[in-house]
C-alpha cells in the first residue's frame, strides 16, 4: 500500500498521502521529509472523527465521500474508500481537481490490492 501512496505522491505532485480507517487509525503513510508521520496522522484522525461526530450531532448523514480543508500554508483532502479514507496532504496552491484521475486510480489500486 505504501508503494501505491508513493506513486500517487510523485504523479500528483503532492506532499504526502496516507490511508486511515473510518475511526481514524492510520494504516499506511507516505509523507514528505518535512512532515512528522505521527503528528499528521493525529491531525487527520482528529479532523475525520470531529467531522463525522459534528455531522451526526446536527442529524446529517455522517458518510463523507470527500472533503477538503484548505489553510494558508496547505490543504488536507479526504476521499472515502468504503472501509477507510485516502488522505492527501498538499501545498495550498496545488489544484487537486487536476489530479482527479490519479487520485481515483490510487483509490482503486488500494481498494483492489491483494494481501498475501
What was the pLDDT predicted at 15? 93
Provide the strand spans (E) within 1-116: 16-21, 26-31, 66-70, 75-80, 84-90
pLDDT digits (tens, 9 = 90+) for 102-111: 999 999 999 9
Give the pTM. Answer: 0.87
Residue 93: which CATH number?
Answer: 3.30.450.30
For the chain, the domain total comes to 1
Domain that holds residue 30: 2-111
Q: Is residue 80 part of a domain?
A: yes
Q: What is the pLDDT of residues 42-79, one digit of tens each?
A: 998 898 888 888 888 887 766 778 888 898 888 999 99
Asked whether residue 55 is domain-assigned, the answer is: yes
Is position 116 within any domain?
A: no
**What grid cell was written down for 112?**
483492489
Under 8 Å between Cβ of 108 and 100 = no
Amino acid at each position: 500500500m505504501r508503494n501505491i501512496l508513493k506513486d500517487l505522491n510523485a504523479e500528483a505532485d503532492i506532499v504526502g498521502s496516507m490511508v486511515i480507517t473510518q475511526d481514524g487509525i492510520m494504516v499506511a503513510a507516505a509523507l514528505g521529509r518535512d512532515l512528522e508521520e505521527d503528528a499528521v496522522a493525529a491531525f487527520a484522525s482528529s479532523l475525520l472523527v470531529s467531522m463525522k461526530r459534528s455531522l451526526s450531532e446536527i442529524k446529517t448523514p455522517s458518510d463523507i465521500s470527500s472533503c477538503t480543508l484548505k489553510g494558508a500554508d496547505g490543504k488536507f483532502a479526504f476521499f472515502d474508500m468504503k472501509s477507510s479514507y485516502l488522505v492527501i496532504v498538499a501545498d495550498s496552491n496545488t489544484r487537486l481537481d487536476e489530479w482527479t484521475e490519479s487520485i481515483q486510480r490510487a483509490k482503486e489500486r488500494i481498494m483492489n490490492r491483494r494481501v498475501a
